[in-house]
Amino acid sequence: MNDIDIESLKGIANQLRIHSISATTAAGSGHPTSCCSAADVVAALFFGHMRYDAKNPHYYNNDRFILSKGHAAPLLYAAWAETGLFPVSDLLKLRTFGSNLEGHPTPRLPFVDVATGSLGQGLSVGAGMALAARLDKLDYNTFVLLGDGELAEGSVWEAASFAGIYKLNNLIAIVDANRLGQSQATAFGHNVGVYAERFEAFGWRVEVVDGHDIEEIVEVLGGIGLDDKPLVIIAKTYKGAGVSFLQDKEGWHGKPLSTEEAAKAIAELQPTAKSGAGVVIPAPNHLPEPNNPAPAGYPPINYKIGDKVATREAYGNALARIAEVDPRVVAMDGDTKNSTYAEKFFNKFPARFIECFIAEQNMVGVATGCGTREKVPFASTFACFFTRAADQIRVAGISQANLKLAGSHAGVSIGEDGPSQMALEDVALMRAIAGSTVLYPCDAVGTEKLVEQMAQHRGICYLRTARPKTPVIYNNDEAFPIGGAKVLRQNAGDKVTIIAAGVTVYEALKAADALKNEGIGITVVDAYSIKPLGKKEILAAAHKTHNAVITVEDHYAEGGLGDAVAGDVSADGIKVHKLAVTSLPRSGKPEELLAHHGIDAAAIVKKVKSL
């Protein structure tokens, strides 16, 4: 501790405050007072405690820092500017269109691993990073700075419980308890004992400090890793700290100072401010770099045409298979591994399997965190339960995260369990995620090949699988490129093109057989890649059937396959007729439900005849 110059850190904290105020005043928007409260903590971390190579923010054994309270972005930018990574003059470009110094942090910046700004998500991501450190035998610590307001988010407590269970003593949460939320005081104000009790009950070691006493902050940081619990430092702070007319005052959330106010504030801070330049930042230990190359190929698959295998089971087979040759693959489960068949992976690779229990938000956050550390994380649960993590997935899109999600039990074809267990909106949700890929295979071969594609493709990929067993229809050597589609039936004179995916492919094939007996030919396309859509194949098929298309999907009519096709090819003059689930389902046998909702073979036959 002796080599840390406390007086310097105090000066740096004020320098960070000045930068935060200047930048937000220049931008005309932002959250200067939320920066001021955390400035001492950030100064202590970045210029005293954390071990990292400031010239190389991506260095694999650098301590990680996540600004979960992302609205304090100017403070983070100020800290990195003061390390010398980029000129401090750049800070005045905050929030301008040409700058990567955005209103809330995004990984467009080399020192940001994940986007923040939707509160309560950072701790899960940090837990994923802390777990990855263990898997990679690295000794970096992961620090997550949270606001007190965001402790109301349940996702924080999912992460807290998880970190406690896994005894992640390389994960450190710091709560900037500045008492004031956006529109009013927080529920507990400066009664920080409430937070202390909660974290203790969730398995954490708790230190409560004066968040403006750098000596105290540095001292408790010295206790990291002393026992087997994650550590939370609850820093009692004041919003706007350091500036007389801002400190602890309501009505200043998310407001920049006027030029005059800024000058006045800076005049108060300047006398004790000090640049971070020249401060020697502790270097990380040089441990062996994790060596996890992508595999050159995968073990073969061996299905027989006609074998009945649920796509969810093929997912489990695929995960266990590709993991044999790809040590980057890890898997997360939400206590559904016996239903999603992720247990096939668990049985083979228990050390790379992370049981997240029934906490889907945290599961996705942990997976996202692992993804930032060059793992290839596959998280699986019932497709409908990924909806619980919709915001985490949205933000993962902004993070351009490498994240693989496999949702099982999609659609009414699950049958008796009823509507709460049926994903009927998942495709709409997943299509609308920035940069996402949405895949929906109908058989085991397609599933296996698409899991390979997911592992190879950098980005968010969603795989939709079904509960019922369905026959294998593809040969083992069939290729399933992302963005493709398969023409399963096509003859000259076909009247209409049926575009199906997943279970409805079989209904379309049955309809084709039935119509053939009546002398009516239809084209059947398996649109296994919903985003990007196999537009080329679909257009080509549709043009041959006089631009007449029927889509059929086990999903609500909004935002799914039908809308995807219509949205993509309507401009080309294709007439798209949608068959989809248009009313609230109920329990029943899968075939009863497919019939009731008009997405079975009979409904397709009827629709074809009506055209």
Query: Helices (H) and strands (E) in the chain — how many of each?
Result: 20, 19
End-to-end CA distance of the chain: 80
> CA separation (Å) from 13 to 9, 37, 43, 104, 210?
6, 10, 5, 20, 15
Contact call for residues 36 and 28 (beta carbons, < 8 A): no
Q: Closest CB to a copy of itself among 11 and 534?
A: 534
- In the bound state with a copy of itself, the residue whose beta carbon lies nearer, of 311 and 380, is 380
Q: How far is the CB of 411 from a copy of itself (least distance, A)?
A: 13
Residue 584 burial by Cβ neighbours in a 10 Å radius (0-12, 13-18, 19+): exposed
If the CB atoms of residues 343 and 443 are measured against a copy of itself, the closer one turns out to be 343
- Rg (Cα) of the chain, in Å, rounded? 27
Task: Name the burial class of residue 294, with classes exposed (0-12), middle (13-18) and buried (19+) by CB atoms within 10 angstroms of its CB.
Answer: exposed
Is 360 a known active-site residue?
yes
Which of residues 476 and 547 has its CB atom nearest to a copy of itself in the complex? 547
Two tokens at 339?
């239903």
The Cα diameter of the chain in Å comes to 91
Taking the complex as a whole, the smallest distance from the CB of residue 89 to a copy of itself amounts, in Å, to 18
When the beta carbons of 23 and 209 are compared against a copy of itself, the nearer one is 23
Residue of 313, 360, 537, 553 marked catalytic: 360
Smallest gap from residue 298 Cβ to a copy of itself (A): 26
Query: Coil, strand or helix: which one is 379?
Result: strand
Amino acid in position 261: E
d(CA 77, CA 276): 13
Q: State which residue, 404 or 431, has the beta carbon closest to a copy of itself.
A: 431
Length of the chain: 611
Q: How far is the CB of 553 from a copy of itself (least distance, A)?
A: 11
In the complex, the smallest distance separating the C-beta of residue 574 from a copy of itself, rounded to whole angstroms, is 7
Whether 358 and 334 have beta carbons less than 8 Å apart is answered as: yes
Q: Give whichever of 19 and 104 is closer to a copy of itself, judged by the CB atom.
A: 104
Q: How far is the CB of 474 from a copy of itself (least distance, A)?
A: 27
CA distance 125 to 89: 31
The tokens describing 15, both together, are 């320098």
Cis peptide before 532 (omega within 30 of 0): yes
Cβ distance to a copy of itself smaller for residue 14 or 408: 408
- The minimum distance between CB 335 and a copy of itself, in angstroms, equals 5
* Side chain identity at residue 294, one-letter code: A
In whole angstroms, the minimum distance from the beta carbon of 71 to a copy of itself comes to: 8
- Tell me the H-state helices in 276-415: 311-325, 337-340, 343-348, 360-372, 390-398
The two tokens of residue 251 are 């009505």
In the complex, least distance from residue 260 CB atom to a copy of itself, rounded to whole angstroms:
21
Cβ-count burial 500-539 (b if 16+ within 10 Å, e if not): bbbbbbbbbbbbbebbeeeebbbbbbbbbbbbebbbebbb
Q: β-strand 437-439 against 460-464: which pairing, if any?
A: parallel
- Report helix angle 73-83 to 6-27, nearest 10: 120
- Quick one: 543 or 577, whose CB is closer to a copy of itself? 577
Q: Of the two residues 85 and 194, which places its CB atom closer to a copy of itself in the complex? A: 194
For residue 390, the minimal CB distance to a copy of itself (Å) is 4
Q: Which is nearer to a copy of itself, 463 or 593 (CB)?
A: 593
3-class DSSP assignment, residue 153: coil
Look up residue 139 and give its DSSP letter.
-
Angle at 210 between CA 115 and CA 365, to 5 degrees: 25
Instruction: Find the shortest distance in angstroms from Cβ 92 to a copy of itself.
Output: 14
> Cα separations (Å) of 200 from 147, 161, 203, 204, 350?
18, 10, 5, 5, 29
Go through 360-384 and write b for each residue having 16 or more CB atoms within 10 A of its CB, e for each that does not. Answer: bbbbbbbbbbbbbbebbbbbbbbbb
Chain Cα centroid distance, residue 126: 12
The H or E element containing residue 249 is none
SS3 state of residue 232: strand
Active site residues: 360
